[in-house]
Structure 1
Amino acid sequence: MAHGILDQSRVHGNMELEDIGDLYFKDLWARSFFQNVTDYGMFYKFDMHDLIHDLVQSVAQGECFTVKSANTEDISENVRHLTFLEAGQNVSTTLQKLNKVRTVAADMVDIDESFPNTCFSRFKYLRVLQFVRISLQVLPSSIGSLKHLRYLDLKYNEAIKKLPDEICKLQSLQALKLAGCVNLEELPRDISKLICLTSLWLTTKQTSFAHSGVGCLKSLRFLSIGACSNLTSLPREMSYLASLRTLWIEECKQLDLGNVNYQGTPLRLQNLYIINLPRMVALLEWFKGVANTLQLLSISRCENLEALPEWLASFTLLRKLFLDSCPKFSSLPEGMRSLTSLRKLVIDDCPELERRCQCDIGEDWPKISHVPHVSFQY
């Protein structure tokens, strides 16, 4: 998507880029292009940006180059996609002769301090930047000059404590990955200025989100909040995320989803993942707002969750429900019979609920007898 290879012609009407990419993925998957993908139902565990990026690298080999050592004399001036296994001073010097680069990727590489500055100053038309698990402590403020950057991946950089405010000047940015940045003290205050941002993965040491921040990213379609050990509440302006389709919340042990009473325009979520939230004992009332849109609900490792609410019966479009490792969960709501769109129910390591549901004469079995695919796993 970052490279603009998706067809946005009249054939696809007014479809969002992510949905067009979804069609590409389904077509390639049907043709067995992705050999390791066995369950399309878990598609959202994959990143469409990464998939399309890998596709570009595989079909445009003449424009790709992997820098394996300081000896880079054989780099063609026409190369567009660079992957670095080494990024020292000599490499930075060699980059001076390149001017068509659109992708820079480095994973688990010791970064020389001159390297990012060289990339930012030399590659003004950079579309994709991946600095993953590198030795980077400070991201140069010159990143704000990359007006064409659409994809920025900084995940698992544990040394980064702060992002430059200039990152908010990236008006073309569509995807920002900050997952695993466990020492990131806070997000830039003006992050809401990223008006084209559709996908955000974040880890932060903040206890709460700043006013007019993440919750005001009106183009956001995918939001992942993970490993935020101090976080106590979600953004207060969640109701402004009218474009949000997938919300993934994981490993936030202080997070209390009931801390804020969200009001305003209801969310239009289609996919909701809740993983390892020990303070959650029930789904909160404000989730009622997605009753007419939610298609997938996955709840995992919520040790204090006891039951699903009766109002879940109003979720008329819910097709898939996953319950995993919730030891206190003991019964399904009576209204399960009203979930006429439900096609898949998977219950894993919820011992009391499993015991009651797997027997035909059990109290809960009639509630789910209409579901075509019911699975109890241990």
Structure 2
Amino acid sequence: MAHGILDQSRVHGNMELEDIGELYFKDLWARSFFQNVIDYGTYYVFDMHDLIHDLVQSVAQGECFTVKYTNTKDISENVRHLAFLEAGQNVSTTLQKLNKVRTVAANKIDIDESFLHTSFSRFKYLRVVELPRCSLQVLPISFGSLKHLRLLDLSYNKAITKLPTVICRLQSLQTLNFSRCENLEELPSDISKLLSLTSLWLTAKQTSFTKNGVGCLKSLRLLGISICSNLTSLPRETGYLATLRTLFIGGCKQLDLGNVNYHGTPLRLQKLYIKDLPWMVALPEWFQGAANTLQILIIESCENLEALPGWLASFTSLTKLFLYSCSKLSSLPKGMRSLTSLRELRIINCPKLERRCQRNIGEDWPEISHVPHVFFHFVN
């Protein structure tokens, strides 16, 4: 999607780019194109180096190059996609002769500011920058000149404490990932200027979202909030909810999902993943706004969640319900038979719920007898 190669012709009707991209991915996966791919419900986890290797071998020979210390002289001036296994001085020197690069990717290597400055100032047409786990501390000012950039991945760079304000100049940016940047103090105050942003993954130390910030990103389709240890509430604004399709919230020890006034707000959520929220004793009522659209609900390691609300039975589009490691969860909502689209129910390590279903107490077990795939697994 970041390189503009997805087919938007009439064959896909009115499908949005993310959905078209998912079709491409599933088709390639079904053809065994990817190596070491794990299907986890709705999430795909893959090794970046294996993926790059497959792409080099199968798709873009001559346009992709994996940079090592010993082969920098072999780089063609026509290369468009670079994957770095190291980033020493000789590599920075080699970059000076390239001007068609669209992708810069590296993982688990040390990258200094001079390498970044050379890349960002030289490669004016960059579309993708992926630098997870690269020991980054700061981004150079030249970063703000990448007006064509569509994807930026800075995840797992724990030394980053501040993002430069020039990041808000990247009007073409569609995907921004700085999850697990656990020392990042806060988001840039002008992040709402990223009008094209559709996917945002974040980790930060702030206690709340600033006014006119994330909540005003009206193109956002995916929002991932992880390991925000001080965060107490979601954005107060509701503008971002109109387009949001996927919401992931995990590892936020102080977050109270009910600490916002979203009641009556129409939602278009399709996928909701909630993990490790100790303050959550019940699903917030404002989630009812997604009753007609939610397809996948995953709740994991919510230690104080005691019951699922009765109104969940009105989610007629729900196809998958996964409940993992919720020790206090003791019952399913009545009226589960109304979930006529439900095709898969997984209950893993929820001992109270297991005992209730095994003893056939109440209406729990009969209520889910219509579900084609029901899976129980409990760890003693």
Partner of 1:44: 43
1:266, 1:185 → 2: CA distance?
32
The amino acid of 1:308's aligned partner reads L
Q: How far apart, CA to CA, are the structure 2 residues paired with 1:51 and 1:228? A: 30
Q: Which is further off, 301-310 or 54-63?
A: 54-63
Maintained 8 Å contact 1:219/1:241: no
Q: Does 1:228 align with 2:254?
A: no
Q: Kindly tell me: are residues 122 and 246 of structure 1, through their superposed partners in 2, closer, same or farther at Cα, counting changes over 3 Å?
A: same
Task: Write the deviation string for residues 7-32 of structure 1: whole angstroms up to 9, x where unpaired.
Answer: 12222233211111122123223323
Q: Tell me the secondary structure at the aligned position of residue 65 of structure 1.
A: strand
> Deviations 1:184-205 (Å, cap 9, x if unpaired)?
0000111111111111111000
State the SS of the aligned residue for 2:129: strand
Q: Would you say 1:245 and 2:245 are equivalent positions?
A: yes
SS at the partner of 1:11? helix
1:173 aligns with 2:173: yes
Corresponding residue SS for 1:297: strand
Give the CA deviation at 1:70.
6.8
Provide the residue aligned with 2:291 in structure 1. 291
Residue in structure 1 matched with residue 16 of structure 2 by the alignment: 16
Query: CA offsets per residue over residues 269-314 of structure 1, 9 Å max, x none?
Result: 0010000001100001111110110011110100000000111111
Q: 1:33 deviation in Å? A: 2.4
The residue aligned with 2:310 is: 310
Deviation at 1:104, TM superposition (A): 0.7
Listed one character per residue, the Cα deviations across residues 187-242 of structure 1 (whole Å, up to 9, x for unaligned) are 01111111111111110001001111111111111111001111111111245321
For the residue of structure 1 that corresponds to 2:205, the secondary structure is coil
**Residue in 2 that maps onto 1:62:** 62
**Residues 324-343 of structure 1: matches in 2 within 5 Å?**
324-343=324-343
Is the 1:356–1:363 Cα contact (8 Å) retained in structure 2? no
Pair 1:344–1:71, CA change in 2 (3 A): closer
Q: Deviations over 1:164-198 (max 9, x none)?
A: 11101111111111011000000011111111111
Q: Give the match for residue 111 of structure 1.
A: 111
Give ranges in structure 1 of 5+ residues lacking alignment: none
Query: Matched residues in 2 for 1:131 and 1:154: separation?
Result: 5
Q: Distance in 1 between matches of 2:156 and 2:218?
A: 26
Which letter maps to 2:43?
Y
Q: Distance in 1 between matches of 2:240 and 2:164?
A: 25
Give the aligned residue type for 1:234: L
| Structure 1 counterpart of 2:355 | 355
Q: Which amino acid aligns with 1:373?
A: H
Partner of 2:150: 150
CA contact (8 A) 1:70 1:86 kept: no
Following the alignment from structure 1 to structure 2, what is the Cα–Cα distance between the partners of residues 75 and 50? 19
| Residue pairs, 1:49-128, within 5 angstroms | 56-58=55-57, 59-69=59-69, 72-128=72-128
Contact kept? 2:249, 2:273, Cα under 8 Å: yes
Residue pair 1:358, 1:376 contacting (<8 A) in 2 also: no
Q: 1:360, CA displacement in angstroms?
A: 4.9
Higher deviation after alignment, 178-187 or 334-343: 334-343
Cα distance between partner residues in 2 of 1:57 and 1:241? 38
AA matched with 2:326: C
Contact 1:239–1:263 (CA under 8 A) maintained in structure 2: no
Paired with 1:364 and 1:81, the residues of 2 have a C-alpha distance of 54
Quickly say closer, same or farther: Cα 1:85–1:103, change in 2 above 3 A: same
Query: Which residue of structure 1 aligns with residue 366 of structure 2?
Result: 366
Percentage of pairs with the same residue: 75
Deviation at 1:247, TM superposition (A): 0.3
For residues 152 and 70 of structure 2, what CA distance do their matches in structure 1 show? Answer: 25
The whole-number CA distance in structure 2 between the counterparts of 1:7 and 1:209 is 36
| TM-score calculated relative to the size of structure 1 | 0.94
- Shift of the 30–73 alpha-carbon distance from structure 1 to 2, 3 Å rule, reads closer
Would the alpha carbon gap of residues 240 and 78 (structure 1) be closer, same or farther in structure 2, given more than 3 Å must change? closer
Mapped contact 2:67–2:84 kept (Cα < 8 A): yes
Within 2, Cα distance between the matches of 1:35 and 1:302? 32
Secondary structure of the 1:346 match is strand
Q: Measure the CA separation in 2 of the matches of 1:115 and 1:200.
A: 25
Count of residues paired in the alignment: 376
Change (3 A) 1:172 1:93: same
What TM-score results when the alignment is normalised by the length of structure 2?
0.93
How large is the Cα RMSD of the aligned pairs?
Answer: 2.1
Paired position in structure 2 for 1:377: 377
Change (3 A) 1:355 1:88: same
| Counterpart Cα distance in 2 of 1:176 and 1:9 | 27
